[in-house]
Structure 1
């Protein structure tokens, strides 16, 4: 295992007791979706009773749950409740964003290569309608996405930047995309900025006041410890008078702020209380404290897997909570399936083994994960 001399993050103790994760299971796949905390599970079961026995649960109480979830989501990103819409998915949020942007015709739409589809498809349509050139920055050989994007923004002779659709890290392997440096560079050009914070909110600090995006979205089913089928959309104040995708009584033009973009059938008695419970749990222990713990976990994994000869980005180029691991010559066929047989759960994305621990992961999980990887590679580590 890693060098014990390196201090581990103790700001937040392991929270496994809050989850239903068996001791024999090493679940390092929060970037795919997280297990529900026990309290979130319980809130969901209570919510089901509202629909199962509606005579016992007056509907008049549901709007308060809507605003509870909205307030919790806003607080986690440094926004106010009026700046946040409740939508069904990040793809829904991005469709709203694309519908309400009018970038300079003939300009550039900038993004990274191998971006997640929900951050591509709606903006591909926008680019075609507005005559934008789509520029995908290739994966840099040195792993420094931030430097590559800064160079692309400032490239002499390029069409003017009209829109940047970015994330705080690459979803495939946790490679850092430093929005603290990139957001000011985008704003300096006058371009719009849209952020998909799917792989960030709940795991690392996110602050819309610092990044000043036109739109930012995240779901609850990954790092935010909530249900599937629910997401939140932040809209900057100057973007709150646009056109929603669906029209209903709750989001007519008189709606306050970003509520203009709220989805239909908003008063969900199951998903919204679950989302609020998960978000409040995160806020209660503090996202920075959680991020410090996750950094300790991924650092220790990196040390152990580097000793096996596997390829791992330098610490300063990777996000705290996702570790991408590559092997010269590629991973063996069915490698992830082999890990699952050992009760170690992770994902393979774009040729990388993506390890994404959350606050339930403990020392035994790390040891079991490293042993399963070593055994899955035939004990040879990075040897092809």
Structure 2
């Protein structure tokens, strides 16, 4: 089984068994170079190297790539400095009112749901939590929480801890049946699991680029369905105006697109890097990456089980991603994660378990070397 992302593009993959994309993915070498070129040119020439047209085009190009990633139109994409600020702006735009509820899982990442909790605190909306049994959320239980009082279903497409993956079409349909919207944090899925907003019918999807998209910190992307493009964003700034070069402080005319959720100056070099990385993944196709990742994560899961590990991730293929969470009987997870790192096996400690997350730059040999190190450490 060959790597899809080669050593020349992801050099650290030669020196480490790097299975930590769910924390920080290896950065595409060309993406890092693009960021450095922008920063150096700006230092050398200022606005000669980065003028107003460049300031527009660098985000437009990223939005084009994100549109292909989500199977959306470019007009439906917004870019900012992180998933969190985009989700926050959307939450304040929607402002679920008192008497309604927001459905989420207790295993979701804080960045997914904190913005909605903050808005609920202000409006009086209720948070309704899908409980987990040993970190697993029963999809039937989750669906049962959605009723005519629900205003928002807020999901992580892939749960950050165990990699549990939800059927977005199922929950979007259930939300819409009750007059609610389905909002998705795709940070743990974008780049490893195909996302088709047209087929699933979700209303919004936001993601940061530094994990499975192999891009930099400092960039977030968001798909916004046309109906939500009519709302007033919760965060606005000079870029929020439909002609951002208008500079008239006494009026704000929002664009008739998702760009109304773009609001301010950012470290634009990261947009160049994120575009480079995303185009690389799209060239390989997310479907192909998904197949590759499933094969190596299957190998990893089987190997962990053979070593006696308690695998916490779903066994059902339809609910799985490349993220595998495990506990090792008789081992303190914090100490064991440190031991693995000392042996060049890179994974993350999360709560009381270890999370492994291989990606396109891994191959079967990596998995076998990682398993051999785990066996020796045990």
TM-score (norm 1): 0.88
Instruction: Give the Cα separation in 2 of the matches to 1:142 and 1:128.
Output: 26
Question: After superposition, what is the alpha-carbon deviation per residue over 1:249-293, rounded to whole angstroms, capped at 9, x for unaligned?
Answer: 553424240111113115x44111111101100110100000000
Cα deviation, residue 333, structure 1: 4.0
- Aligned 1:33-44 pairs, distance under 5 A: 33-44=24-35
8 Å Cα contact 1:294/1:359 also seen in 2: yes
**In 1: Cα distance, 2:50 partner to 2:128 partner:** 52
Q: Indicate the SS of the match to 1:34.
A: coil
The alpha carbon displacement at 1:299 in A equals 0.1
Work out whether residues 43 and 274 of structure 1, in 8 Å CA contact, stay in contact via their aligned partners in 2.
yes
Query: Does residue 178 of structure 2 align to residue 186 of structure 1?
Result: no
Secondary structure (helix, strand or coil) at the match of 2:145 reads helix
Q: Deviations over 1:303-325 (max 9, x none)?
A: 11111121223143642311111
Q: Which region of structure 1 is more displaced relative to structure 2, 345-354 or 215-224?
A: 345-354
Residue ranges of structure 1 left out of the alignment (5+ in a row): 1-7, 379-384
Contact 1:143–1:317 (Cα < 8 Å) also in 2: no
Give the match for residue 247 of structure 1: 237
Work out which of the residue numbers 31, 49, 55 in structure 2 matches 1:57: 49
Name 1:127's counterpart in structure 2.
120
Question: Given that residues 32 and 216 in structure 2 are in contact (C-alpha distance below 8 angstroms), is that contact kept between their aligned partners in structure 1?
Answer: no
Alignment of 1:74-89 (within 5 A): 74-89=67-82
**RMSD of equivalent CA atoms:** 2.2
- Corresponding position of 2:273: 274
Aligned equivalent of 2:133: 140
Q: Is the 8 A contact 1:40 1:278 kept in 2?
A: yes
Q: Is 1:296 paired with 2:289?
A: no
TM-score with structure 2 length normalisation? 0.89
Tell me the distance in 1 between the aligned counterparts of 2:361 and 2:141.
35
Partner in structure 1 of residue 100 of structure 2: 107
Which one is further off, 40-49 or 140-149?
A: 140-149
Contact 1:205 1:288 in 2 (8 A): yes
**Cα offset, 1:296, TM superposition:** 0.4
Task: Output the CA distance in 2 between the equivalents of 1:203 and 1:175.
Answer: 13
Q: 1:304 to 1:253 in 2, by over 3 A?
A: same
How far apart, CA to CA, are the structure 1 residues paired with 2:331 and 2:162?
14
CA drift at 1:144: 5.1
> Which one of 195, 199, 202 corresponds to residue 206 of structure 1?
195
Q: Counterparts of 2:10 and 2:120 in 1: how far apart (Å)?
A: 43
Bigger Cα displacement from structure 2, 164-173 vs 291-300: 164-173
The residue matched to 1:201 in structure 2 has which SS? coil
Q: How many residues align?
A: 363
Query: For residues 183 and 208 of structure 1, what CA distance do their matches in structure 2 show?
Result: 10
Query: Any stretches of 5+ residues in structure 2 without a counterpart?
Result: 242-251
Looking at structure 1, the residues matched to 153 and 225 of structure 2 have their Cα atoms a distance apart, in angstroms, of: 15
2:335 maps to 334
How many angstroms apart in 1 are the aligned matches of 2:222 and 2:270? 16
Q: 2 CA distance for matches of 1:276 and 1:121?
A: 28
> Contact 2:206–2:220 (CA<8 Å) still a contact in 1?
yes
1:5 aligned partner: none
2:37 aligned to 42, 46, 52, which one? Answer: 46
Residues 106, 130 of structure 1: 8 Å contact kept: no
Q: How far is 1:14 from its partner?
A: 5.0
Closer/same/farther in 2, CA of residues 301 and 100 from structure 1, 3 Å limit? same
